[in-house]
Amino acid sequence: MGIFKPTMYKKSIFDIDYSLLKGRGITCLIFDLDNTLGLIDNSKCPLKTKRLIKKLQDDFLIIICSNNTKRRLLPYLKELGIGGVSLSMKPATYGLQKIKKKYNLKKKEMVIIGDQIITDVLAGKRFKIMTILVDPLGDKDLKITGLNRKVEEKILQKYEKRGLLKRGNYYE
Ligand SMILES: [Mg+2]
């Protein structure tokens, strides 16, 4: 199985069966921020996202793990009343390690949910936790992410040929 292949692949955070995750022993949902919880342009957390996160807080510990700055992350953390790691250096496992330690979690309780194969999914795979890929909420990316997308396209082409992963072919 490929290093970039996520455990699950869903259209968005609104399409994930969270009760299934709970049933599999997941207690902590770790979300990417940009293009997963909100658009690059959403300086504040979108209402739809807020509603979902608030609901999920009944069942899960919710954390944001972002490669973006503290300044970008803080309005989301405040609005949602949750914890998070900025400058998390995904695909390095630094941010995930920090979260695991701080909240005293086991790897089998953690899932990372994000829109990028070469940061979110790869970080999760390297850390050996469950990974969920979602499609990006919008077309607009940070500059660095624009470069990542080109690499991602190449990976997706290869994976599609091998029958591992194809855009729009969701699974769980
Ligand atoms: Mg993202």
Domains of the chain: 8-161 (3.40.50.1000)
Check residue 164 and give its pLDDT.
Answer: 93
34 CA to centre of ligand 1 in angstroms: 4
40 CA to centre of ligand 1 in angstroms: 9
Residue 162's pLDDT band, with cuts at 50, 70 and 90, is: very high
35 CA to centre of ligand 1 in angstroms: 5
The answer to whether residue 144 scores a pLDDT higher than 90 is: no
Check residue 150 and give its pLDDT.
Answer: 87
Check residue 138 and give its pLDDT.
Answer: 83
108 CA to centre of ligand 1 in angstroms: 23
The answer to whether residue 38 scores a pLDDT higher than 80 is: yes
Per-residue pLDDT averaged across 89-109, rounded?
97
38 CA to centre of ligand 1 in angstroms: 9
Residues with CB under 5 A from ligand 1 (ion): 32, 34-36, 115
Check residue 1 and give its pLDDT.
Answer: 63
Q: Which of 96, 113, 135 is nearest to 33 (CA)?
A: 113
